[in-house]
Structure 1
């Protein structure tokens, strides 16, 4: 099991690199191609469309191909996408690898997360938190890698790095997972995916899951907006220099990584619901503080605190949702991740509009409003009466990772 967790962490590290690469290179890409920010938004939206398709396709892919084949094919697609991007294609061709990039890291992220949730008998929150730490390290390192290449006038070099890492992960998944499966007690490297042999009726508790979907929708939108817009807010409202404003993003990611190291253990000790409630409340207080204080050191401390409180929410929300639907892990994980992807694409548009239509400082209050709504939806998860829970039946092939029927 430890080997599988390490394999998942390495995979999430590469996924983190692939997820943020367009954001770190966007200004340079637009300059090289002579395009404007609207064109850049189209590229980001194409990647989001691919991501959403990959997340929703993951359960079907796993049923048809098994985890190992599905994951290494996802990394093969990532390799192909970034190899094409490294070759500097024409602008309109760029949309194809951008979409493929999103599709493949969405597929890999969902499949790996589901695999580890199904393979773990206990401490699922700890396992998911480790994956999120690895993702955060990749997301933190990519800007530094891009900066190094840009200083040497090689704006497309980072695509080669991601392509190489994706190729390596593809080879590791092809060979290493087979060994793990045999050691774990499964006679075959792949679970039996024959629809004729295994079929179960899985139940999803729709109403609690719907509230958790809204919760994660708001969370990912809040996190994405914080990363992308807080530097601009600080430059405008607090008159930070560009280097100071950019530093806030690094502080945020560092605190996210630190928080994710401990969030799984804490959540297992105090309970998932209480952890999510405390984290959301702490994030709300931190964001309100950012709207009031102007001292640079206090602002940096509040950004660090916001990162700590937000760090474990996504992983624990996924585990909490799966605990409510233990027989539908693939569907539940896919639905939750897709909800987050939609929030990460749509809510930043609202935040950007507020900065143009009102004033940059309004974005901070809007982010705090997202946190308030998160708390309200989370409280609804606890207060839904069991008698009113609506159940939707989903029939799927039984892919048993642990070997139990």
Structure 2
């Protein structure tokens, strides 16, 4: 099981780089291709739109081919696309390359998330937080590599480095064996067995403790009845992930532009804002899973979404450079665990069809990020950047409202179980 967690972390490192590729190279591409912010927003939307298709088609593919095969083909395909992009093809071919990389990235991300969530039945937030830390490291290191290589005119080499890493991942999956959990990768039509990790698969250490706990904690009949009666839960989660994607992806892609356009940074220092944001995200993800398990998922989500409203409103009002970076750090800390905790909480309330539900809500997240990127790009070309900042605050408010509404669909017993577990952890 430890090898499975490591594999997931290595692939999420790649996912972090893929998600920020367009944002990292867009300042170089726009002048080279004589494009503007509207074209950048469209490019981001195409990448996320392609990833949506990949996420949605993954469950269909999982019924027919091995998940290892999907990971193997996906990694090789992303490598080929990044090599193509590195050589600066015509704009139309560049778009195709980015779209294919996004499509394959969507398949890879949903495969890894589904395997981990199906394999772990308890304390999954902690295990998923480890993957999200790797995602954050990839999102942090790739823009830094681009930034350092831009000055020497060798930024293409960062893309070639990602291609080499993809080939390594393909070989890793091809020759690795995951004893005790190999059935998680099989096509659905070959096995009717539930994807539960046996107790003997648990390894030593913190990860092993998570797996050992998961092996003895099955969803209760009460939760199953909740899933049957909670018809509004899945649409509510999809909409919540849609709003999360708008907030997260909007900040990642347009934070440097907002800092530049509001006069809080110049062209040389604006990219630092993304580095600061991702550094805070990584630190927050180190503790997000433990915090959520300790205080309960429902309370965690309420506190963090409420904080996002306040911080984004202050960010829209502020024009002081020093205070802006303080707010960026706090935004990174508050946003760091929302994706993982919401995903695990969804699994807790809807223990059936985990792979399908995971792909659907992840697609919703990508749609939200892509649409927000298009709208924000057009707004930055036509109106004051403060409108984009306030739009983010409004999205956070809608997220909290959505969460409060769907939380009413959950059973009070779920919360009692969470707090009972939290008290046992404290003791």
By how many angstroms is 1:65 displaced?
1.1
Tell me, yes or no, if the aligned pair for 2:20 and 2:253 is still in contact at 8 Å.
Answer: no
Residue equivalent to 1:158: 158
1:208 paired with 2:233, answer yes
1:198 paired with 2:192, answer yes
By how many angstroms is 1:155 displaced?
3.5
Separation in structure 2 between the aligned mates of residue 106 and residue 25 of structure 1, nearest angstrom: 20
Tell me, yes or no, if the aligned pair for 1:15 and 1:138 is still in contact at 8 Å.
Answer: yes
Separation in structure 2 between the aligned mates of residue 238 and residue 30 of structure 1, nearest angstrom: 21
By how many angstroms is 1:35 displaced?
4.1
Between 1:112-121 and 1:25-34, the stretch displaced more is 25-34
- List aligned pairs for 1:176-255, cutoff 5 A: 176=176, 178=177, 180=178, 183-184=179-180, 190-191=185-186, 193-194=188-189, 198=192, 205-255=230-280
By how many angstroms is 1:71 displaced?
1.5
Residue equivalent to 2:23: 23
- List aligned pairs for 1:130-141, cutoff 5 A: 130-141=130-141
Structure 2, unpaired ranges of 5+: 195-223, 412-427
Alignment: residue pair count: 379
Q: Name the Cα RMSD after superposition.
A: 2.4
By how many angstroms is 1:315 displaced?
1.1
By how many angstroms is 1:299 displaced?
2.1
Residue by residue over 1:268-306, the C-alpha shift from the partner in whole angstroms, topping out at 9 and shown as x without a partner, is 111112111111111111112223343332222111111
Separation in structure 2 between the aligned mates of residue 189 and residue 294 of structure 1, nearest angstrom: 50
Residue equivalent to 1:372: 397
Separation in structure 1 between the aligned mates of residue 91 and residue 263 of structure 2, nearest angstrom: 37
Tell me, yes or no, if the aligned pair for 1:47 and 1:103 is still in contact at 8 Å.
Answer: yes
Tell me, yes or no, if the aligned pair for 1:74 and 1:108 is still in contact at 8 Å.
Answer: yes
1:168 paired with 2:168, answer yes
- List aligned pairs for 1:20-169, cutoff 5 A: 20-169=20-169
Distance 1:230 1:39, change over 3 A: closer
Structure 1, unpaired ranges of 5+: 387-405
Find the residue that maps to 1:245 and give its secondary structure: coil
- List aligned pairs for 1:277-288, cutoff 5 A: 277-288=302-313
By how many angstroms is 1:243 displaced?
3.6
Tell me, yes or no, if the aligned pair for 2:37 and 2:380 is still in contact at 8 Å.
Answer: no
Separation in structure 1 between the aligned mates of residue 181 and residue 323 of structure 2, nearest angstrom: 53
Separation in structure 2 between the aligned mates of residue 30 and residue 227 of structure 1, nearest angstrom: 18
Tell me, yes or no, if the aligned pair for 1:322 and 1:328 is still in contact at 8 Å.
Answer: no
By how many angstroms is 1:327 displaced?
1.5
Separation in structure 2 between the aligned mates of residue 104 and residue 67 of structure 1, nearest angstrom: 13
Tell me, yes or no, if the aligned pair for 2:238 and 2:364 is still in contact at 8 Å.
Answer: yes
Separation in structure 1 between the aligned mates of residue 84 and residue 379 of structure 2, nearest angstrom: 36
- TM-score, normalised to structure 1's length? 0.86
Residue equivalent to 1:401: none
By how many angstroms is 1:129 displaced?
1.1
Match of 1:292 among 296, 317, 325: 317
Find the residue that maps to 1:154 and give its secondary structure: coil
Find the residue that maps to 2:20 and give its secondary structure: helix
Separation in structure 1 between the aligned mates of residue 377 and residue 94 of structure 2, nearest angstrom: 25
Find the residue that maps to 2:186 and give its secondary structure: coil
By how many angstroms is 1:96 displaced?
2.3
Residue by residue over 1:187-241, the C-alpha shift from the partner in whole angstroms, topping out at 9 and shown as x without a partner, is x68536336x6399x9674311211211111111012222333433333445533
Tell me, yes or no, if the aligned pair for 1:225 and 1:348 is still in contact at 8 Å.
Answer: yes
Separation in structure 1 between the aligned mates of residue 260 and residue 181 of structure 2, nearest angstrom: 57
Separation in structure 2 between the aligned mates of residue 83 and residue 363 of structure 1, nearest angstrom: 34
Tell me, yes or no, if the aligned pair for 1:355 and 1:361 is still in contact at 8 Å.
Answer: no
Separation in structure 2 between the aligned mates of residue 157 and residue 237 of structure 1, nearest angstrom: 32
Residue equivalent to 2:292: 267
Distance 1:192 1:299, change over 3 A: closer
